[in-house]
Amino acid sequence: MTEIHTYRQPVLDELARHGLKPLPTTSPQELRDVVRDLYKYEIRRLKGELLARRFPRSHYAGHVIELRKRYRLLSIPMELWTV
């Protein structure tokens, strides 16, 4: 039997920022995995830019903090994603 999930609007808004629009049958775990993979890609890209010296090492922490803000959904327990 397929489980139906009703997502909170702020969660849907955050998912939409990453190009995700879940169906009611999409599990929170599937969505979290996708968002986590996007974050990992971005952090690797950022590290690559640092190693390519596209910005000073002293700016790296600030870039990481900004990236974490864009992926704040990962800090919210999945149990709180749905109503």
The answer to whether the Cα torsion of 18, 40, 53, 58 is positive or negative is positive
Nearest to 70 by CA among 48, 45, 38: 38
| Domain spans of the chain, in order of start | 1-36+52-83
The mean-pLDDT minimum among 1-5, 9-13, 33-37 falls in 1-5
User: What is the C-alpha separation between 43 and 61, in angstroms, rounded?
Assistant: 11
- pLDDT, mean of residues 7-32: 98
User: Are residues 39 and 17 in contact, defined by beta-carbon separation less than 8 angstroms?
Assistant: no
pLDDT, one tens digit per residue, over 51-65 is 999 999 999 999 999
Q: Which stretch of DSSP H or E encloses residue 62?
A: helix 60-70
Tell me the CA distances in angstroms from 65 to 9, 12, 18, 56, 72, one per residue in order.
24, 22, 17, 15, 10
